[in-house]
Structure 1
Amino acid sequence: MFFLFATRTNISKKRVLLYGAGELGFVVKRVIMSDPRYGFHVSGFIDDDKSKQGKKINGIVVYSPSALSTEFIEKNRIDSLVFAIKSLSIDKKSSIIRKAVNLGLEVLDTPEVDKWVSGQLRLPQLRRVDLEDLLGRDPIKLNINLIKEGLSDKTIMITGAAGSIGSEIARQLTSFHCERVILVDQAETPLFFLQNELKEKFLDIRFRILPADVTNKARMEQIFKEYRPHIVFHAAAYKHVSLMEENPHEAIRVNVGGTRIVTDLSVSYGVEKFVMISTDKSVNPSSVMGASKRLCENVVQSVAQEGGHNTQFIITRFGNVIGSNGSVIPIFARQIESGGPVTVTHPEVYRYFMTIPEACQLVLEAGFMGQGGEIYVFDMGQQVKIADLAKAMIKLSGFIPDKDIRIEYIGLRPGEKLYEELVTDHEKTIPTHHEKIRKALVEEIDGELVLEKIDTLLTDLYSLSNMEVVNLMKDLIPEYHTTNGNFKFNQKAV
C-alpha cells in the first residue's frame, strides 16, 4: 500500500539518521554512502546504548533517541529516519515511527537479511514504513500443534472464500496438511484471481474453486454431498454498512438466510466443526448490517443448542481488518494518491483494527479451542481515532495534513456509530489459554423460538416493506437501535 523505493535523482542531498549503530547500522551506512545516485547523506546514528552515545563511529556521531526532537531535526535539516536495527520491540518501533512522522520525517525500514538480493542489501530495498508498522501489532503466538491436529487429513470448506478474510484463511491453510480445501464464493472475478494466486504462489492442488451462492440451498447441498467437509469456515456475508442500510432485504437474505442454510447443511452432513466469522458491529447494533450479523450469531447459537447432532458451532467476533476490501484504509490511500481530500465521517469516530493475517490466525486458533456453543472475542488493542489515522496516512505518504492534503468531515453515514464494542451490555468475557482471545459469557436464548421467528422472516421477506423488515429485526434484537440511519428509533430498555 505504501511500499515505495527510496530513490532520489536530484542534486540535493537527503540527510538521514540511522536508528541503530550496531552491525546492521554499519551495513546500511556503507550501502547508502557507496551509491551517490540516490543522494543520501548520513548525518548521524541513533542508538539506545548509552556507552555509544556521544561517540563517533567512522566519523559519524551517535546520538541518543532524544535527538528525535523538533529542535534537532530543524537545526540539522534532517529529512529521513532509517531503521537499521534487528532487536527492537514492536511497541517501541511503533512509538518511534509516530514521533518521527509527527516531526515530518520520511521513515524507511531495512528489510530482513533473508530478503536481501543474493545476500546483498540494495538501496531500492529500503521501504517506507506502512500503517501496520505504525499501529504496532505484536505477532500472534499460535498453538500450532492444536491447529495441525485439527486440520490434518480433513476436508475444509470456506464460504466467502474470495473475500479478505476467506482468502487469507485459504492462504494460511497451505501451511497445514489438509486433505482438500473447498473455496466457495459467488464473486466470479475475485475467485478467479484467488485461483491463479494459489496456483502460482503455492503450487497447491488441494484447492477446489466453486462458484456458488450460499443462499442457493440446492447448489450448497450439492457441494456438501459431493465433498463432505469436516470443517466449515463461514465468512460469506454482505458487510458494507451504508449499502445494507439501503437494502435490508438483501442483508437478511444473504447474511441470515445464507447462515441458516449452511448451518443446517453442516448438521445434515455431519460437519465436525463450524466456525462463523462475525463482527463487532453485531454488538448493540446501530445498523441493518450489524443487526443482520447479530441474527447470524443467534442462528448459530440456536442450531448449536439443538440435539441430535455432534457439530461444534463456534463464533469468532472481531473488528476492522487493515486493508480489507472497501474498508476505510484503502479508501484513504486512493484519496491521498489522487491529491485529496481525505473524507472522514466525524472527528470523534473510533475503530478497532487488526491485520488480516492476525485475524485469520486467531480464527484458526479459536476454531480448535472451542468445543461448541462459544463466542470468542479477539483482543483488538486500543481503538484508533479515524481522524488521527487519516493524518498518519497522509504523513506516511510524505504530505502535510490540511496543507498538502485536506481532511474533510462529511458527517456520520446511516447506521454508523462513533465507536464499536466487542461485547454487549449483558455479556462478560473470561480469559482463555490464548492472551488475545477471550470467551464471551453470552445470554441464554430460546433457540427454538428464535429459529421459528427467523424462518418466518425469511419466508415472508419480499412481501415486507423496508420498515417492516427492520421492525422484525428489532423484535428479535431488543438492543438494536439507531438514531442517524434511515430507520430512526432509540434503544428500548431491556
Structure 2
Amino acid sequence: MSDTLARIAALARPFHRLLALACQLGLVVLSNWLAFLLRFDGDVPYRAEEAFWLALPWLVAIRALTFVPFRLYESLWRYTSVYDLRAIAGGVGISSLAFFLFTQSPLGPAMYPRSVFVVDALLLILLLGGVRMGRRLSAELSRGKPEKRVLILGAGDAGELIVRDMKHNPSYHYQPVGFVDDDPAKQGHRIHGVPVLGTREDLSKILQRWRPDEVLLAIPHAEPGVVRSVVRSLEPFKIPIKTLPKLRDLLDGKLELSQIRSLAVEDLLARAPVGLDPIPVKHLVAGRRVLVTGAGGSIGSELCRQISRLKPASLVMFERYENSLHAIRTELEDAAQPFGMWPVIGDVTDRVRVREVMQEHQPEIVFHAAAHKHVPLMEENPCEAIKNNVRGTRLLAEAAEEAGVDRFILISTDKAVNPTSVMGASKRLSELVIQRQAIGSGTSFAVVRFGNVLASNGSVVPRFVEQIKRGG
C-alpha cells in the first residue's frame, strides 16, 4: 500500500502547482456554497441559488488572480507556518473586498446576501489553512520512529529553533522529550508541543524519569561556569552531551540542527582559545628554509601545519618517532604543498646526525620543539630529562650556529619559571644554554614560553575529553 502511494505521489509531483491550484479553487467554490447554506439554514431559496451560480465564475476568477501575488500556489504545505496563514488571510480579505465591489457593479447579480461575504471569507480561511495544516500534520505523523530522544537545556530562541528544525527534518531522527530552563515564567509551558519539564535543579529527576539518549545544551551564550556545572550534574548518568556553536562562531547568526556537535573542552574554558595571526609571521617564514624538531609532537606538528600555510622555500621535519613523523608528513602531502618537504628521522642528542642534517639542508630558521615534557615521567626519569632537554638543546644550538642559521627559536614552557619539577628545571637549564649560546653569536637566538597547550599529547585535556565522551 505504501509503495502504491509513493508511486502515485511521484507521478503527481510534476503537476504539483496545477493540483494545488485546482484544490484551492475547489475550496473557493465549497466555502461559498457552505456560506449560502449557513445563511439560509440549509434551505437556499431559488433567487439566492441563482445569484450563487451567476456570481460564482467571477468569484473564482477574482480569488484565483488575487492569490497569485500572495504566492498561495507556490508554498509547500508540509512546511506551513504563520507566514502562510498570514498570506491566506491577506489573499482572502483582498479578494473578498474585490468581489464585494463587483456585486455592487452593474455586472453583479440583482441581489446577493451581504452576510455571505463575511461567512464565506471566514470559511475559506479555515479551509485553506486546514488543508495545509493537515498536510503538515500527516507529514509529521508519517515520520519513522526517532532514533534518539533528546533533552534540551535552554528554552530560549536557540532551543525553539532547534526543536522546530527537529520536527521539520525527519531525516535527523531526533525526538525532543522536553526542555530544562531556569526561567520560572516558562515552567509548565510548551514550545512546539514540547514541555518545559523543570529547572537545572530538577535535572536528576528529569533524567531518571524521561531517560533521554542525549542532552543538548542549547545556550549559545552560556558561560563556561554554567557548562561546567551542567557537566558535573550529568556525570553520574554517563549520558552524551551535545551543544551548539558559540555566537562568535556563527557567521550568519542562524542555527540549524546540522550545527549540533559534541561538547568540546573549549566549551569549559573561561576564555576563547587564541589563534595565530599569520600576517606578521609570514614575512619571517615565506620563501625561507625552515627546520622543526619534534615535528611529530603536539606543538611541533602544529608548527609544521602553520608554517606550511606561510609558503616556506622548504620544510625539514626532524623527529625520532617514525609513526608520528609519518602522520604529519601524510597530512601535509595530502594538502599538496608547493614547497620541498623533508621528513627526517633523528635524535637531537645525536651530535653527528644533527650536524649532518644541518649541513645537508642548510635551514635559515630552526624551531626547536623536541623535548620530554611529561612531568610525572620526568620525576621518575630525571637523567633522560636532562639528556634530551638540556644536552639536546645545546647540541642543536651549536650545530645551528656552525651551519649559519639565521634564527633559532626554543619552545620552552611556563614550568621553567621558578621550577618545582625535574621537567621544569630541565627546560629552565635549556633556556640558560640558549642565553649562553647567544652571546657573540651571528645567529639570533630566542626563547618562547608556552602555557598549557590545548589538547596536547600527554596533557590533562585529552583525559577530560574522554570523560566527556563517557558522559561526564
Gaps of 5+ in 1: 1-8, 333-388, 400-494
- 1:30 match: 165
1:85-133, CA deviations, whole angstroms, 9 ceiling, x for partnerless residues?
6x52664664564465468564212469999xxx99667x744313332
Name the counterpart of 1:397.
470
Q: 2:442 — aligned with what?
A: 309
Which TM-score applies when normalising by structure 2?
Answer: 0.56
More strand by share: 1
Q: Distance in 2 between matches of 1:312 and 1:179?
A: 21
CA distance in 1, matches of 2:457, 2:285: 27
Instruction: Tell me which residue corresponds to 1:69.
Output: 201
**CA distance in structure 2 between the partners assigned to 1:31 and 1:171 by the alignment:** 38
Q: Relative to 1, partners in 2 of residues 1:71 and 1:140: Cα closer, same or farther, differing over 3 Å? A: closer
Unpaired segments of 5 or more residues in structure 2? 1-143
Say whether the 8 Å CA contact 1:153–1:177 is kept in structure 2.
Answer: yes
Residue 235 in structure 1 maps to residue 308 in structure 2: no
Q: 1:318 aligns with which of 441, 446, 451?
A: 451
CA distance in 1, matches of 2:274, 2:285: 19
Cα RMSD of the aligned pairs, angstroms, is 4.1
**Residues 378 and 422 of structure 2 are in contact (CA less than 8 Å); yes or no, is this contact kept in structure 1?**
yes
Contact 1:277–1:315 under 8 Å retained in 2: yes
Alignment check: 8 A CA contact 1:199 1:205 kept: no
Contact 1:231–1:273 (Cα < 8 Å) also in 2: yes
Assess, with a 3 A threshold, how the Cα gap between structure 1 residues 26 and 163 changes in structure 2: closer, same or farther.
Answer: same
Percent of counterpart pairs with the same letter? 32
Higher helix share: 2
Residues 1:394 and 1:152: Cα distance change in structure 2 (over 3 Å): closer
Displacement of 1:61:
5.8
- CA–CA distance in structure 1, aligned partners of residues 167 and 205 of structure 2: 20
Q: Do the aligned partners of residues 240 and 163 (structure 1) sit closer, same or farther apart at CA in structure 2, a change above 3 Å counting?
A: same
DSSP-derived class of the 2:309 partner:
coil
Partner in structure 1 of residue 392 of structure 2? 258
Alignment check: 8 A CA contact 2:288 2:312 kept:
yes
**Contact 1:16/1:82 (8 A) holds in 2:** yes
Shift of 1:21: 3.7
Deviation digits for residues 266-304 of structure 1 (CA, Å, limit 9, x no counterpart)? 223332322212223333434433322221111012222
Residues of 2 paired with 1:32 and 1:96: CA distance?
29
How far, CA to CA, are the matches of 2:324 and 2:385 in structure 1?
21
Shift of residue 159, structure 1, vs aligned partner: 0.4
Which residue of 1 is the match for residue 334 of structure 2?
200
Which string of whole-angstrom CA distances, capped at 9 and with x for unpartnered residues, describes residues 431-459 of structure 1? xxxxxxxxxxxxxxxxxxxxxxxxxxxxx
Query: In the aligned structure 1, how far is the partner of 2:173 from the partner of 2:407?
Result: 55
Identify the structure with bigger relative contact order (alpha carbons < 8 Å, sequence gap 6+). 1
Q: Does the 8 Å CA contact 1:67/1:73 hold for their aligned counterparts?
A: no
Aligned-residue offset at 1:250: 2.7
Q: Where in structure 2 are the equivalents of 1:204-353 lying within 5 Å? A: 205-304=339-438, 306-319=439-452, 321-330=453-462, 332=463
Deviations 1:47-105 (A, max 9, x none): 99x99999754344679xx93223695397474542446x5266466456446546856
Residues 154-205 of structure 1: per-residue CA shift (max 9 Å, x gap): 2221101111110111112232222221110111121112211222246564
Aligned to 2:152: 17
- 1:43 maps to 178
Query: Which one-letter code corresponds to 1:165 in the other structure?
Result: I
Amino acid at match of 1:35: P
Kept after mapping to 1: 8 A contact 2:386/2:426: yes
